Amino acid sequence: MIESNYGSNTIFFNINEVAKIIEVSTSTIRNWEKKDLFTAKRSANSYRIYSLNDIEILKRIKHYSKNYQMNSQAIKDILMPHIQAPPIIKNNLKKPPSHTPSRKLLGSKWKDHRIKLNKTLEEVALDIDISISYLSKIENCQANVSYEVIQKLASYYGENVLHFFEPEEEQNIIVEKGKGEKLQTGLPGVLMESLIAQKDKVLFPMMYYVEPGYGSIMTQKHNGEEFIHVLKGVLEITLDEKDLYTLKEGDSIYFKSSTSHSWKNKDKSTAKLLWVHSPLERNI
């Protein structure tokens, strides 16, 4: 079962108190446990007890289940960066895919953006709903960061997620087929492949490989413009939180990144997308 991994807290709540806090029934919380979404801690007399961080996980479970109608497996995958990793799989079986970033995040960029906005650690942490100490560790490259937090920070500073990753040392004019740098930003079920090998660039052309049922469920917006061309599969994209578009093989879409957007692979096979982002936006 999945267990929370936020460390110990001195304040704990019982299941009735937690149910009131997150506005669900106690049976709903127990049902989440039956589905292996969460495992509560136990007191000395075997009663369920919950820390403040445990409550935050339960709030997210409720959010993904109620607002996005997500199934148990999809919720587990999204919560994976926040919870304890499963035991090592024996007998050489295939390990589950990594949900942590594969390249170093540039903590200095996070800090530079915060200072440019004349914001304190406390103000930014409060605005994006994380702890001050966690944000400090992110800025000093001392913490593992989930895609959800990266996305929150990037959107807060008006930047694309890729802006905060360390660039490749090697620079080439040509990137041969299949030799683009693979990048995992921590988004479950999504692998990105860079189609250029240049440090100084205006465009970020990427190949996205999106597994069935996965995508960026959280709404985001930032600086720049986006172009997406579906090479294989089906992509569902929502703009302005109300305009839903279904793109099939051969379809394209172009929009300003400042338009709130979220997306998901609605097909039963892996989607392959040519995705080009520019951090610059043309003013009309």
| Among candidate residues 9, 194, 173, 28, the one with its CA nearest the CA of residue 102 | 194
Distances (CA, A) of 244 to 132, 212, 252, 260, 280: 36, 18, 14, 12, 25
Q: What is the mean pLDDT of residues 117-144?
A: 84
- More confident call, 202 vs 8: 202
Angle between helices 147-156 and 121-128 (to 10 degrees): 120
- Residues 228, 205: Cα–Cα separation, whole Å: 10
Q: In the structure, what pLDDT confidence band is assigned to residue 10 with cuts at 50, 70 and 90?
A: very low
- More confident call, 244 vs 177: 244
Distances (CA, A) of 121 to 76, 91, 105, 111, 145: 30, 46, 18, 9, 17
What domains can you pick out in the chain, each with its CATH number? Answer: 15-82 (1.10.1660.10), 107-163 (1.10.260.40), 174-278 (2.60.120.10)
pTM for this one? 0.56
- Residues 228, 233: Cα–Cα separation, whole Å: 13
pLDDT at 227: 96
Strand partners, 95: none
- Residues 81, 69: Cα–Cα separation, whole Å: 20
Give the N- to C-terminal CA distance of the chain in Å, as an integer: 53
Strand partners, 275: 206, 228
